[in-house]
Amino acid sequence: MLLKNNNQIEEINPSNNMITTSKFSTEKEAKAVVLKGVGYPFNFALMEGSNLEISDKVLFEQYAREQWLGTIVKEGNYLFDQKIIPDFAFKVITAFPNNSVIGKNTSIIIVDNEKTNHTLKAIKTDYTLSDVVGQVSAKNKAKVIMKYLANPEKFGEWAPRNILFYGLPGTGKTMLAKALSNELNVPLYLIKATSLIGDHVGDGAYKISELFDFAQKTSPSVIFIDEIDAIALHRTYQSLRGDVSEIVNSLLTEMDGINPNKGVITIGATNNIETLDYAVRSRFEEEIEFKIPNEEERKQIIQNNLKTFPLKIEVPIEKLVKISKGMSGRDIKQKLLKTSLHNAISNDKETVTMEDIEYALNYKKQKANEVKNMFA
């Protein structure tokens, strides 16, 4: 709850009733805020629930901006209407940047309860480019993304719009996107492609349109669509997964630049580039490959992970490097080191030995065979 007093803002946090005061002039203006109507703080017979129908979202945006001008917005907190429907609460789903102030230029988006788009929440991360071991070629090509997001105005019609990351699982595709976002301090909207498929006709297209609209309002920004082949499978395989042409067409519209989307880069990621539909693949201006780490890179990945390893490990690093040949960075951490650690702890051991490493390798092989037999 917020109270205004001579250009100052007193904020009451419902969880602890603490009040903080700050001057509007010193706060950063919010680029965009996403709200969801949640209803009144209590119920009685004459009150209806949280279902609120907004007939004109543009008009509501102006109404909301004027009412809450100068208000600090934090994700998870609430704003209360004081005009047309007094004390009706709106939950702040997203604020960018978080803990900022609603200003004259802030975009305010209202989402309804049935179609709440969780993709409108930027991912927060502390990854840096140095955390991405190896992938020198990928990082070099990603310099175009960094240059553009640092100064979108400079590029104009030469702006990179759509980039495809491809390579085996666990090779660093998502990590690089997170690192770019963090180092440039721009919002990253990380979406699983399957989350765009709705329960009803039109849901997917609605989500995509809303996502790109919000990314534009918080630009410069990055949209990262993971496992994009899940909705853009090559027509040869379409019968395996049903018709998602509506979603694909909506995505193509955004990627083609029919809508401006200035300062927004779309990164698609796939583990198998050959299964990607040509109509979608052709929209990507650059394809960046992520490779399995070589010997030196595996050594660095293992050394980085052992810095926080909770048990002593008796296996020489050189041995681990040799054993992990052909593994991705994620496999080295999750399927080799983590599985061996858990096995050692389960057997009341204080150190991880070669016996635990062998258990991890056998377990990995067993799981791979189970998956293979599923499609036999």
Residue 21's pLDDT is what? 37
Q: How far is CA 40 from CA 4, 14, 18, 123, in A?
A: 21, 14, 21, 30
Q: Identify which of 195, 278, 211 has the alpha carbon closest to the alpha carbon of residue 251.
A: 211
Vertex 215 angle, CA 212 and 219, to 5° = 140
To the question of domain 2-114 being in CATH 3.40.50.150, the answer is: no
In the chain, list all ranges with CATH 3.10.330.10: 2-114
222-267 pLDDT tens trace: 999 999 988 887 666 555 444 577 788 888 888 887 766 688 999 9
Length reported for the chain: 376
Superfamily of domain 129-290: P-loop containing nucleotide triphosphate hydrolases (3.40.50.300)
Portions of the chain given CATH number 1.10.8.60: 295-374
Q: Indicate the range of 118-132, 144-158, 308-322, 333-347 predicted with least confidence.
A: 118-132
Distance between CA atoms of residues 117 and 120, nearest Å: 6
Class of domain 295-374: mainly alpha
Q: Which residue has better confidence, 307 or 112? A: 307
Greater confidence, 303 or 86? 303
